[in-house]
Amino acid sequence: MDLMYRSTRNAENRVTASQAILKGLAEDGGLFVPEQIPELGLSLDALAGLSYQETAYEVMKQFLTDYTEQELKDCIRSAYDEKFDTPEIAPIREADGAYYLELFHGATIAFKDMALSILPYLMTTAAKKNHEDREIVILTATSGDTGKAALAGFADVPGTRILVFYPKNGVSAVQEKQMVTQKGANTCVIGIRGNFDDAQSGVKRLFADAALGSALSDAGYRFSSANSINIGRLVPQIVYYVCAYGKLLKAGTIKAGDLINVVVPTGNFGNILAAYYAKCMGLPIGRLICASNENKVLFDFFRTGVYDRNREFVLTSSPSMDILISSNLERLIYRMAGDDAKENARLMAELSAKGSYTISEPMKQAAQDFTGGFATMKEVAAEIARLYGKTGYVIDTHTAVASRVYREYREQSGDGTPAVIASTASPYKFARSVMEAIDPKYAGMDDFALIDELSRISGTGVPGAIEEIRTAEVLHDKVIEKTQMEAAVRDFLGMR
C-alpha cells in the first residue's frame, strides 16, 4: 500500500508522493506531510557499509512509495554523480571535538544541492507517472542559495521552466553573481525590492491564486515549487543524517544505538525538520539544536511557545538564514498538534492575520527534543577566527552560527554526546565575511582577491562553482517591486 501525503491544513486533501512533488504546495495553502513517518527498515549496523547512493535509496524508498525501484535508482544515480567534487558526496570533518557534516560539495557549493540535484529527476518522473503534459513552471523564492541550486538543477531540463525571485540587497556578492550569470533558455532570475519573506509570501500568493492557475493551465503550464515546502526537497535531506550516522559507526566514533546530537543553522526550518524526520524514522538522535542568527524567531519560539514575526528584519552575515517566517515549522506544528489539520490551520491563519501565534502547553511538550540557540554577527566572526586559529579549518558564516551555538550549548549543559554540525555552505561563498572575521586587514580587498587568499590560508582549492563566475557574463538584470511578481511571471511565460 502506498504511503499517502496530506495537507497540513485539510485532512481530506490526500495525494501520492509523486503528486505531492508535482504540486509543491497544497491548494489550501498547506504543506504536504506523510500520513505516518516510516521506519528506517534496516539495522543501524548495516548503515556503516552503505554508500551515499545506497543510503539514499534505503531512505527514499520508504517515503516515495509510488516510485518504482528502477525509477528511484535512476534518479539517485543521475543526481549524485560527478557534479559532486567528492565520491563521498557528504564527507565529515572532525574539528575541535565536533563533527562537521560538509554538505557543500555539489554544483553550487551550498547544502541546497543535496536535494536540488535530485528534485528535477523526481519531478520529471512524477510528471510522466501522472500523465502530466503541461509544462512545469518552477517558481522559487530564494534567500540566496536555493535559487542557484534550483537553476543549476532545472536549467535546460525538457518540460520545465524556472523563475527565481531573490531579495536584491539581501544576498552575498557571490550568491548574486552565481544566479544572474545562469545560462539555459528556460531560466529567469529577477531581483525584488524587498526581503526574503516578501519574495516567499509573494510566491505563495501566486500559488494560491486560482485565476492565475487557470490562465496558466489554459496556456499549457502548471506551477510547482523547488522550495523546501516541496516534500521532494525534504526527503532527500533526511538521507545525509542517516549517512552521517553510518559514517560515525564505520569510524568507530559511536556504536550502533548510541545517540548523536544534531546542530543545524536554520532559516526556513527545512534542514532541521529533515533531521527530525530521521529521528522519527528511528535514527538515534538525541537533541536537535536549532541555531539562528539575529533573526531569532525560532529561538524565542522554542523558549516561550510564542511565534512572533513582528520584529525588525536584520540583514546579517548569514543571509540564507535571514528569515522571519519559517515555512517548514508548519510541518512540526502540525505534528505537535497531533496531526490536527484544523488546529494547525487556525494557528497559521493567526500568523497571517496578526503575525504571531501561541501554542498550547501539551504542544510545547511535544517539541521537547528541540533546543534553540542563536549567535550574533560578532559571535559568528569570533567563532570563525577561533576555529581557524585552533585547527586551521575554515567554516562559512552559516556553519559558524551553528558551531557557536553548539559550543555554548555544550558548555552550559555538559552534554558530551557526539555532535554533528550541518555545514551548509562553502566558505568560498561568503569569502568576504569569512576573511574579515579571520583578519580585519582583508577589509579593503576585492572579492576575487579574497577568494584566492582564502585558498592560500586554508590550503583548499578554489571550487569550480567560483571559477565559473569569475568571468561569466550577466544574463539576468531585471529588478522589480514586490507588487510586480505576477506581471513578471506572465511576462516570462508570454501570457499577456
Cβ distance to ligand PLP smaller for residue 261 or 397: 397
Closest CA to 62 of 113, 125, 120, 2: 2
Site string for ligand PLP, 140-169 (x = CB under 6 A): -----x------------------------
Give me the torsion for CA of 166, 170, 173, 175, rounded to 10°: -40
> What grid cell was written down for 143?
534567500
- List 331, 398, 410, 432, residue binding ligand PLP (CB under 6 A): 398
- Residue span binding ligand PLP (CB under 6 A) among the ranges 120-128, 200-208, 249-257, 265-273: 265-273
Question: Rounded to an integer, what distance in angstroms lies between the CA atom of residue 372 and that of residue 123?
Answer: 34
117 binds ligand PLP per the rule CB under 6 A: no
Question: Rounded to an integer, what distance in angstroms lies between the CA atom of residue 221 and that of residue 61?
Answer: 29
- Number of helices (H), then strands (E), belonging to the chain: the values are 22, 16
- Residue span binding ligand PLP (CB under 6 A) among the ranges 84-92, 110-118, 411-419, 461-469: 110-118
Amino acid symbol at 236: P
Could you tell me the smallest distance in angstroms from the CB atom of residue 11 to ligand PLP? Answer: 26
269 binds ligand PLP per the rule CB under 6 A: yes
Could you tell me the smallest distance in angstroms from the CB atom of residue 336 to ligand PLP? Answer: 18
228 binds ligand PLP per the rule CB under 6 A: yes
Question: Rounded to an integer, what distance in angstroms lies between the CA atom of residue 77 and that of residue 455?
Answer: 31
Question: Rounded to an integer, what distance in angstroms lies between the CA atom of residue 324 and that of residue 263?
Answer: 20
> What grid cell was written down for 34?
506523510
403 binds ligand PLP per the rule CB under 6 A: no
Could you tell me the smallest distance in angstroms from the CB atom of residue 415 to ligand PLP? Answer: 22
Closest CA to 225 of 208, 237, 210: 208
Cβ distance to ligand PLP smaller for residue 235 or 425: 425
> What grid cell was written down for 423?
555545514
- Residue span binding ligand PLP (CB under 6 A) among the ranges 267-275, 409-417, 463-471, 485-493: 267-275
- List 271, 292, 317, 433, residue binding ligand PLP (CB under 6 A): 271
Could you count the other beta carbons within 10 Å of the beta carbon of residue 36? 10
CB-based contact 17:5 (threshold 8 Å): yes
- Residue span binding ligand PLP (CB under 6 A) among the ranges 44-52, 105-113, 157-165, 467-475: 105-113
Cβ distance to ligand PLP smaller for residue 58 or 145: 145
110 binds ligand PLP per the rule CB under 6 A: yes
> What grid cell was written down for 154?
532545472
- Sheet of 285-292, strands arranged across: 92-95, 98-102, 419-423, 260-265, 285-292, 370-374
177 binds ligand PLP per the rule CB under 6 A: no
- Residues between 313 and 332 that touch ligand PLP (CB under 6 A): 320-321
Question: Rounded to an integer, what distance in angstroms lies between the CA atom of residue 186 and that of residue 493?
Answer: 10
Cβ distance to ligand PLP smaller for residue 124 or 426: 426
> What grid cell was written down for 314?
536584520
270 binds ligand PLP per the rule CB under 6 A: yes
424 binds ligand PLP per the rule CB under 6 A: yes
**Site residues for ligand PLP per CB under 6 A:** 110-112, 145, 228, 265-271, 320-321, 398, 424-425
